[in-house]
A and B are shown apart, each in its own frame.
Chain A
Amino acid sequence: MTNPQSQGQLSANGELVHLLTLEGLPREIIVRILDTAQSFLGVTEREVKKVPLLRGMSVFNVFFENSTRTRTTFEIAAKRLSADVINLNVSTSSTTKGETLLDTVDNLAAMHADMFVVRHSQSGAAHMIARHVGPERHVINAGDGRHAHPTQGLLDAYTIRHYKKDFSGLTVAIVGDILHSRVARSLIHVLNILGTPEVRVIAPQTLLPAGVESLGVRVFPDMRKGLAGADVVVMLRLQNERMRGALLPSAQEFFKYYGLTPEKLALAKPDAIVMHPGPMNRGIEIDSAVADGPHSVILPQVTFGIAVRMAVMSILGGA
């Protein structure tokens, strides 16, 4: 019996066939992905940094929204699994010629793609594509509008688990533009599924979506109060457009009240870790001293990200 919550990610017998969002995923599946990722970390230390798991399979990176960083990590992950990787920057090709989104996807499917990694500027794009290509071809959402970035949420969870081991006593603070952030939404979902008792969002009102508490968070407009006793601090990237949309007056004022400095970080627990999905805006949301400091785990996040994406692809590829 298909769980309506699974919204097409899970097959009739509960197997993961697409990764579209972390919302509604059973805890066991998330834990399995994290455990599998752990096994992949050792692979990078070997002479041959590949395993033959996806040999003969084609992974198509279909990016309707540009992102060299994310695309590269998916490409590395797929190649480490011995898959063939094709990169399609669709923003410069067919759709601008008037081809519909689904026509583009159909054409790619006809080229025997086994897996699609999709990034799009509109929320719901990955769901639409997954509904269209069906469970035989697997879709990984690499970010859709403001909605979800599930592999980022997973690698964030992996990072927290690596340093803090157990979620059951943690206070996690997420700081910045929650309103526009798919990273924040995915992280909030995974933290709740893994049983984190206190998830905080710290932002001015203009950057908080309506009814955000219903996602399972506590709102702190005051960063000092929000950081008090936090075990994990996750800084979100602030985009320049926000200043133009009358959401914020200036980067300077934002940094003063919502930027992470060593002085504000001192309010968190002494062994708190600092995370950031990247790329960082030094001096806008995070001070260099913190980004390069002993609490920062921003670089390990990248390594974990490759292992987590390898885990997701290897679980989907066998489904």
Chain B
Amino acid sequence: MQLPDAEALCAELVKKLRPVVTPATGMVGIHTGGAWLAERLHRELGLAIPLGRLDISFYRDDYRKSGLHKSVKASQIPFDVADRRLLLVDDVLYTGRTIRAAMNELFDYGRPESIALVALIDRGERQLPICPQYCGATLAVAKGKMLRLDRNDAGKLSLRLDDD
């Protein structure tokens, strides 16, 4: 299957976001692919507020079934969430459960004024009522396959298709 060019999609998102960001905008990327994407967007957009990163392991809804995720990273939100307009960034939007967990976690930091979702790819098959405000591309992915974002040593972003 022909995968879209992640770099090109990234540039598209930068174009879409540039008119809506302000000096007060907070951006939060979801580990791991969302954080990579957010780092790039944050840099390209020259955002004033430092970047936040979320690890949603402690908010997932599959803890009882699958246990704690094997590698947990620390979440860091180096700004005040309260009353701020946030951009929540993830690489691939799928069932929507990751975004649900991320929003719950963000609200434990404070009450934001708004959250807008930025996704590089929307692969559909939502299981919750979640939709992206800014999206690079929609792509149908076969069952049993996982779409992931890669970043090489030079920082170049690319999409990868793995077996689940």
Interface of A toward B, CB cutoff 8 Å: 15, 32, 35-36, 38-39, 41-43, 46-48, 50-53, 314-315, 317-319
Which residues on B sit within 8 Å (CB–CB) of A32?
A: 70-71
B66 near A36 with CB under 8 A, answer no
Is B79 an interface residue when CB atoms closer than 8 A count as contact? no
Residue of A nearest to B105 (CB): A51
Taking the nearest CB of chain B, how far is it from the CB of A288, in angstroms? 35
Which residues on A sit within 8 Å (CB–CB) of B104?
A: 52
**B108 is contacted by which of A36, A41, A50, A318 (Cβ under 8 Å)?**
A50
Given contacts A50-B108, A53-B58, A53-B63, contact A39 B75 (CB under 8 A): yes
Which residues on B sit within 8 Å (CB–CB) of A319?
A: 67
Which residues on A sit within 8 Å (CB–CB) of B109?
A: 46-48
Chain B residues with a Cβ closer than 8 Å to the other chain, count? 24
A39 near B108 with CB under 8 A, answer no
Instruction: State the CA gap A32–B67 with chains docked (Å).
Output: 13
A47 near B108 with CB under 8 A, answer yes
Interface of B toward A, CB cutoff 8 Å: 55, 57-59, 63-64, 66-68, 70-77, 82, 104-105, 107-110
Q: Among the interface residues A53, A318, A319, which one has the most CB atoms of the partner chain B within 10 A? A: A318
A46 near B63 with CB under 8 A, answer no
A15 near B67 with CB under 8 A, answer yes
Sample of 10 further A-B pairs with CB below 8 A, known A32-B70, A53-B63, A318-B67: A32-B71, A35-B71, A46-B109, A47-B110, A48-B107, A51-B58, A51-B59, A53-B59, A53-B68, A318-B68
27 A-B pairs with C-beta separation under 8 A: A15-B67, A35-B71, A35-B72, A36-B68, A36-B72, A39-B55, A39-B57, A39-B58, A41-B74, A42-B74, A42-B76, A43-B58, A46-B77, A46-B109, A47-B82, A47-B110, A50-B108, A51-B59, A52-B58, A53-B58, A53-B59, A53-B68, A318-B63, A318-B64, A318-B67, A318-B68, A319-B67
Which residues on B sit within 8 Å (CB–CB) of A35?
A: 71-72
Given contacts A51-B59, A53-B58, contact A314 B68 (CB under 8 A): yes
Which residues on A sit within 8 Å (CB–CB) of B82?
A: 47
Instruction: State the CA gap A48–B55 with chains docked (Å).
Output: 16
A51 near B108 with CB under 8 A, answer yes
Which residues on B sit within 8 Å (CB–CB) of A318?
A: 63-64, 66-68
Which residues on B sit within 8 Å (CB–CB) of A314?
A: 58, 68
A52 near B67 with CB under 8 A, answer no
Which residues on B sit within 8 Å (CB–CB) of A52?
A: 58-59, 104
B74 near A39 with CB under 8 A, answer yes
Instruction: State the CA gap A77–B77 with chains docked (Å).
Output: 22
Given contacts A52-B104, A314-B58, contact A38 B74 (CB under 8 A): yes
